[in-house]
Amino acid sequence: METNQQSQQNDSHVYELAFFLMPTIGEENLPTVFGDLKNMLSKSGAVFISEDFPKLLPLAYSIDKIIEHKRQVFNTAFLGWVKFEIESGHLLNLKEELKHSVNLMRFIIVCTVRESTLAPRRLHASRRRSAPDKVRPAEPAIPIDEEAVDKKIEELVTD
């Protein structure tokens, strides 16, 4: 019974943290800020699996952030992610620390799997041509009475 309680307490899961960093930190300070974020994760007991270094991207919509009692609007942000494994009990403490980080605009933590979930990139290959439709057999032609057609046309024209 005691080992069952220990396994529940030491129950670790794989999570992915996706985040927007403030664009005001600048490209030159980005490695330091990203390193600080990873240190925060490792201090919480996270074991890293994979990551994507943040890149400056335009946002689909503006994000408002209050900084020093002033509302600022941002149209770009550094987007990055980190996949890690952590004990479930430490996750709430980690979320609280992330909420108080001044360099984070937004973040989300999702439970995921250890395997890579990234879709493979496709090469720009030429589009495959679809096979031509099957040729339908020709339908038998309906015989046309040319004299009747000429007669009908004359009736319409003379009216």
Please give the tally of structural domains in the chain: 1
Q: In this predicted structure, what is the pLDDT of residue 8?
A: 44
CATH code for position 37? 3.30.70.60
Q: Is the pLDDT of residue 5 over 50?
A: no
Share of the chain above pLDDT 70, in %: 81
**Mean predicted confidence (pLDDT) in 91-111:** 92
Residue 35 lies in a domain: yes
For strands 12-21 and 70-87, give the pairing: antiparallel
- Mean pLDDT over the full length of the chain: 84
pLDDT digits (tens, 9 = 90+) for 120-138: 777 655 555 555 566 666 7
pLDDT digits (tens, 9 = 90+) for 32-90: 999 999 999 999 999 999 999 999 999 999 999 888 889 999 999 999 999 999 998 89
Residue 119 lies in a domain: no
CA distance 133 to 19: 49
Residue 30 lies in a domain: yes
- The gap from C-alpha 137 to its chain's centroid, in whole angstroms, comes to 49
Residue 137 lies in a domain: no
Residue 148 lies in a domain: no
Domain containing 98 equals: 8-111
Please name the residue ranges forming H helices in the chain: 2-9, 30-43, 88-99, 146-158
Residue 118 lies in a domain: no
* Amino acid in position 80: G
Residue 154 lies in a domain: no
Looking at per-residue confidence, does 158 or 90 come out higher? 90
Residue 14 lies in a domain: yes
